[in-house]
Structures are given as structure tokens and as C-alpha cells.
Structure 1
Amino acid sequence: MNQVLFYFLVYVQFIHPNSERIIGKWDLISSGTIESIKNSDGYLLSDLKTQTLANEMFQVALDSVFYEFKKDTLIYQDVAVPEGQMPVKTITRKAIWTLHGDTLMVKELERNYFRTYVVNTIGKDSLSLYPIIDNKANFKGGYTFIRVSINK
């Protein structure tokens, strides 16, 4: 029994601090995904209407996307283009989250959507995440956030 308690305390010591540090509200300030799209042939060779729609979506994302981590829930603002038409709109979503080592797992509550991220940094004022796609971290598609509040 003492060995189980020891392993539990070691687990809490190494995992729990990061879970506490991520709690709060974070605003998106940069997206590697946006930069990758802007530099892609598909974007560069697309017509003006498509580029305009993409640019509007990128700007709305940078102006309004946030992640607000609470004890076990995540409330976040996402961007949507209804049926490919302007105007781009924002949608507030709710999920449950867990942090295991440097892996953040997010499961939405309103739809069947699950994703994972590598947590690159959790600083006092900055958070950077890289999406995991096909069991590999996408280091070109990372997201950088700044902390705007701490929720307890």
C-alpha cells in the first residue's frame, strides 16, 4: 500500500503543476497553421474571393479565438464559415480536457470531436501548443497564446 501511495505522490508532483499552470484564459496571438496556409500553393494560386474569405477567417481567428481552461472543462472560441459564405462567425464550444505529461487531450461535449496537442510551453504569460495529427506533432501548425486572466 505504501508503494502505491508513493507512486501516486510522484505522479501528482510531476503532472499536477502543469495542470494548475494551464488554468486561465488564453488569447490566440499566432498560428502556424495560418502561416502555412498563406504560404501554400493552394492559397497563392486561388482566386481573389477565396483569398479574401480565408484572410477574413484568419483575422477573425486572431481577433477572437481564446481557450479558457477551468478545473476540468475548456471553453473556447472557434471560427466558422457557414457554407463557405461570408461573414465568418465565431462559435463558443465546451470540452473536457486532461493533461498527461506534455500531451493535452480535448474532448468536445456538444459534438463527437477529440483532439490532442503537444504542450511546448506553459509559461506564466504564454502557452504554445502543437496539434498531434496521425500520431505525430505538427510543429508547423502550432498555436501561441498569451494569458489574459487566471481562473481559480
Structure 2
Amino acid sequence: MSTGNDLLRRLASATGVYRGRGDGPESGPFVARMAVASVVGGRAVTLDYEAVSDRNGLQHVEHTLLVVGPGGRLELHVASLELPGVVRFSQLGPGQFTAYEGPLVARIVLALPQPDAISYAWWWSRDETEPREQSRADLHRTG
């Protein structure tokens, strides 16, 4: 099984609600929640993610589908208020996804650093420079 499929398999077997804290130059400090669900018999995973802060209230809501794409690479299909419709991110390396199409040079970094933990980061650039981390949440499964 490839590294990409291993990430899908690990997430499909680690379903539940994750909570934690995040921070970043763009987001500032926030509290995050992610619900992870296995769908279609483990062939896909949904990630429902939100970030809330005292300063901004609900500052990010996202619904993401993780699947194996037609070329055999993992893909994230992301819908959020900040994006124009659904944007597809294709896996470049273990846990690193880049925007296949979209208005920003963007990357999502998704890692499972230990059992019952997820690290989820958004990287982007508003110009032609290489993306840099703008927001990252470190989450732990509850219950």
C-alpha cells in the first residue's frame, strides 16, 4: 500500500471528533474542532473543520473529502467560505497537498503525528512567492 493510501487508511480507522488549539500569522490564536468520518466503506474520509476565536468568532468553516484520485494519488476536495466553490488539492508528498486549481498558491499539510492526534495546516501566498504556513491546528481525539 502506498504512503498516500496509508494516510487514508489511518484516518478511516481514526474516526471521531478532534479538538485543539491553533495559531498562525494570518489566523491568530484560535480553538479548532474537526470531525473525521469514514464513508463508502473506508474508500473516502470526510473532514469537517472549524476554527473559532474570541476576536473573530467563527473564522473558518470547511468540509473536505479525502479520496484516491483517478491517477492513484490522494486528493482533498475542499469547500469553505474563503474559496470559490470546491477546490481540489493533490498530494505531492506524504501529507502535503497543493491546490490543483484555485485563485491562491496554496497547500494543506495533514499529519497524524501520534495515535489520536491530527495536525492540520493551511499554507498560502498572496503573490507568486512560495506558500508559507498561515494557520495550523494541533488536535486530539475526544471521548
**Structure 1-normalised TM-score?**
0.48
Q: Would the alpha carbon gap of residues 78 and 69 (structure 1) be closer, same or farther in structure 2, given more than 3 Å must change?
A: same
Q: Would the alpha carbon gap of residues 147 and 77 (structure 1) be closer, same or farther in structure 2, given more than 3 Å must change?
A: same
Q: Which residue of 1 aligns with 2:64?
A: 95
Among 118, 135, 144, the alignment partner of 2:138 is: 144
Task: Compare the two structures and name the one with the higher helix fraction.
Answer: 1
Shift of 1:143: 1.0
Among 95, 109, 112, the alignment partner of 2:85 is: 112
Query: Partners in 2 of 1:90 and 1:142 — Cα distance?
Result: 13
Work out whether 1:16 is the aligned partner of 2:11.
no
1:67-86 matches, within 5 Å, as 67-71=35-39, 72-78=44-50
Q: Would the alpha carbon gap of residues 99 and 120 (structure 1) be closer, same or farther in structure 2, given more than 3 Å must change?
A: farther
Secondary structure of 2:2's partner?
helix
Q: Which residue of 1 aligns with 2:23?
A: 32
Secondary structure of 1:108's partner?
strand
Q: Would the alpha carbon gap of residues 136 and 120 (structure 1) be closer, same or farther in structure 2, given more than 3 Å must change?
A: farther
Query: Partners in 1 of 2:22 and 2:140 — Cα distance?
Result: 12
Higher RCO (CA-CA < 8 Å; seq separation 6+): 1
The question of whether the paired residues in 2 share the 8 Å contact of 1:117 and 1:137 is answered with no
Query: Partners in 2 of 1:19 and 1:112 — Cα distance?
Result: 23
1:28 corresponds to which letter in structure 2? R
1:37-52 matches, within 5 Å, as 37=28
2:2 corresponds to which letter in structure 1? Q
Shift of 1:30: 1.1
Q: Which residue of 2 aligns with 1:124?
A: 115
Task: Compare the two structures and name the one with the higher strand fraction.
Answer: 2
Deviations 1:27-69 (A, max 9, x none): 231102389625xxxxxxxxxxxxxxxxxxx4xxx3x722314
**How many residues are matched?**
108
Which consecutive segments of 4 or more residues in structure 1 shift more than 4 A?
Answer: 88-93
Q: Which residue of 1 aligns with 2:98?
A: none
The question of whether the paired residues in 2 share the 8 Å contact of 1:130 and 1:141 is answered with yes
